[in-house]
Amino acid sequence: MQLSANGLLRGAFYVLLAVSFGLIFSSTRTFHFAHGATFSLAGYLFYTLHQTLGWPIGVALAIVCGVGALYGIALEMLLYRPLRLGRAPAFVIMIASLSAFFITEVFLAAVYGDGLLRVSHSFSTNFVGTGEFRFPLLRLVIAGTSLAALVLLFLWLTSTRAGVKVRALASDPELADALGMVSQTTRYWVFAVGSVMVSVAGAFYATDLGLVPHMGIVALLYGSVAAMLGGIGSIAGGVAGAMILGVSMDVGMYFISGQWQDALAFGILILVMLFRPSGLFARRTEAMEV
């Protein structure tokens, strides 16, 4: 029981990664590999602002989110948009994103070194609950924030003009373009919102498990695996995928040792892709390739 409850909390963290990745992927058809770099960038920046400079959490978090959003928008502006206009196939965009990701990580590693850096905060040492059910306070805060972020995202997508345009872009990009509903601004919005979500996750990660340079790739892999498990293009699918991944990782770790963690995540994905290539909860069963 304790295990699966921990798994759900772990899943709540993946939710931020999976849903933000899925939002960008389903609406702009961009395999935003550099999303993982936004995550690391946010984590390290949060470390610098809050731990080194001692700025209050709220201020630091706001700046981190702003920088994350700018980073996402800059990539869309300088990399993805020119490629899309040059009618590059999806694979090319992914390769470009992969390169941007690794370059950013290399610079972060050059600035911060290879060691583990962790933001220390009373959140991460306090526990709540009794007996069998004891949870770190920080994990609960993460779960709460994820939930709040999901609600906000849902409201944004359903009840604002920009959000509705994002959904139009996701459901039929050609039609949305032809009707003149969607402009480049919508794509910038998507990148900004997705990047803010993943920046929050990065700041949490800095406080919870600590920062190492290669954490971005792991985060991206888990985010994309969870999004694909659930099925691209549905928020509920992304949430479910993240929860399934979280619980199965925690239960799996109980039986096999921790170093096989990444292998396990991908083993799950490969199995799902073999039997349900479009994800467990996909709304449509069409291929992503247009």
Partner 1 sequence: MSPYVLQVLSLFNVLAIAALGLNVVVGYSGILSVTQGALVGVGAYVGALVLLAGGGWLMASALAIAVTAALGCVVQLLSNRALGDYYIVISLGIQTVLFAVMLNWQDVTRGSMGLSGIPGIPAFAGGRIEFWVVSFAVLILAFLLVRAFSRSFHGTVLRAIRSDEIATLSLGKPVRLYKVGAFVFGAALSGVAGLLYATLHRYIDPYSFQVNLSILLLSAVIVGGLGNVYGSLVGVGLIVALPEALRFVPMPSGLAAHINEIVYYSLLILFVLFRRQGIVPEFGWGSSALNVLGRPGAKVAP
- Contacts with partner 1, residue ranges (CB under 8 A): 25, 31, 79, 82-83, 87-92, 94-96, 98-100, 102-103, 106-107, 109-111, 113, 217, 221, 224-225, 228, 257, 259-260, 262-263, 266-267, 269-270, 273-274, 277, 287-290
Provide the minimum distance between the beta carbon of 185 and partner 1 in the complex, in angstroms, as a whole number.
Answer: 23
Provide the minimum distance between the beta carbon of 29 and partner 1 in the complex, in angstroms, as a whole number.
Answer: 9
Provide the minimum distance between the beta carbon of 67 and partner 1 in the complex, in angstroms, as a whole number.
Answer: 21
Q: How far is CA 145 from the centre of its chain?
A: 14
Calculate Rg over the CA atoms of the chain.
Answer: 19
Cβ distance 209 to 139 under 8 Å? no
The residue among 49, 53, 72 whose CA lies nearest residue 62 is 49
Residues 6+ apart with CB under 8 A from 283: 231, 233, 234, 237
Rounded Cα distance between 123 and 141, Å, is: 8
Nearer to partner 1, 19 or 196 (CB): 19
Provide the minimum distance between the beta carbon of 126 and partner 1 in the complex, in angstroms, as a whole number.
Answer: 34
Cβ distance 52 to 273 under 8 Å? no
Nearer to partner 1, 118 or 276 (CB): 276
Provide the minimum distance between the beta carbon of 165 and partner 1 in the complex, in angstroms, as a whole number.
Answer: 23
SS3 127: strand
Provide the minimum distance between the beta carbon of 16 and partner 1 in the complex, in angstroms, as a whole number.
Answer: 19
Residues 6+ apart with CB under 8 A from 256: 264
Residues 6+ apart with CB under 8 A from 220: 17, 21, 33, 35, 36, 39, 101
Provide the minimum distance between the beta carbon of 113 and partner 1 in the complex, in angstroms, as a whole number.
Answer: 8
Nearer to partner 1, 91 or 254 (CB): 91
Nearer to partner 1, 1 or 290 (CB): 290
> Which residue in the block uniquely carries the two structure tokens 């994103």?
97
> Which residue in the block uniquely carries the two structure tokens 């550099």?
34
Nearer to partner 1, 90 or 141 (CB): 90
Q: Is the dihedral of CA 166, 168, 174, 177 positive or negative?
A: negative
Rounded Cα distance between 95 and 65, Å, is: 25
Nearer to partner 1, 53 or 110 (CB): 110
Nearer to partner 1, 132 or 286 (CB): 286
